Amino acid sequence: MTRARTLHTLGASALVVLSLAGCAGGPSGGTTPSPTPSMSTSAGATPDDGETATPTAPPESSPTPTGAATPTPTTSETPAASPVNIPTDCTQIVDSATYAATMGETPLNPEGYLRRDGTPLGARTPTVPPADATLVQIVDSAAALDCLWRDPRADITGLGVTMGRLDQATSASLLSLAAADGATCSDAQGGRLCQKSETAEQYQTDITDTYFVRGDLFVHVFQSNFPTNDLLGSILAHTAS
């Protein structure tokens, strides 16, 4: 390839066949009531010593209400998700076995494919997204690592992963913008995941964009005609500190 083509890390999206079986949401807290035993009282009469007297029935007494204390709920806290270290090498985002099975021999960050701003793919110094940033601008600005696996001879097949950090407000904006763009959002992997899939008409292949946020971490995966098996789960497990 003689001229650089600018990589669209979001754009028309790419396929992430993330096994949602592996993207199950994290456990949620619940309450277990601790019952308190009831206390009850009873009344009785004791006869006096001495001559036999005509027995008389003890006076009826109003039963004392038995109060049952309100159980004190105990809360099961959701285990905190492990922090994630963002690697500086795209080959280190998953373990070697997953890399071989998923990325295989597909060229990584091939020559001629650049970021939208014209800089090379790979590790970079992120910047703060501008106010009222678009979905693309948030990911582009906050990216600390951009990775692309694509054979330059392929028309559409490819896999991209972007990782970075966002503050809480920008994370919420990212997910809101993804949902507004047609993504379906759900809890997964101890965080929040939004995913949108569509079909490339020319090739009749799936293109999927996935946006994941947990704490200050965000991960964007795009996939086009590039099957994976719980790639997000593998990334989070391998990069956990």
Please report the pLDDT score of residue 80 as a whole number: 60
Rg (CA), the chain: 31
Q: 195-234, pLDDT tens digit by residue?
A: 999 999 998 999 999 999 999 999 999 999 998 999 999 9
Alpha-carbon distance 108 to 121, whole Å? 9
Please report the pLDDT score of residue 135 as a whole number: 97
Beta carbons of 153 and 113 less than 8 angstroms apart? no
Please report the pLDDT score of residue 191 as a whole number: 98
Alpha-carbon distance 134 to 156, whole Å? 24
Please report the pLDDT score of residue 241 as a whole number: 77
Q: How far is CA 99 from the centre of its chain?
A: 21
As a dihedral over the C-alpha atoms of residue 165, residue 167, residue 173, residue 177, rounded to 10 degrees, the angle is 0
pLDDT of the chain, 241 residues: tens digit per residue: 433 343 343 333 333 333 333 333 333 344 333 433 333 333 333 334 444 444 444 444 444 444 445 444 443 444 566 789 999 999 999 999 999 999 999 999 999 999 999 999 999 999 999 999 999 999 999 999 999 999 989 889 999 999 999 999 999 999 999 999 999 999 999 999 999 999 999 989 999 999 999 999 999 999 999 989 999 999 999 999 7
Please report the pLDDT score of residue 155 as a whole number: 87
Length reported for the chain? 241
List the domain boundaries for the chain.
Answer: 14-19+85-239
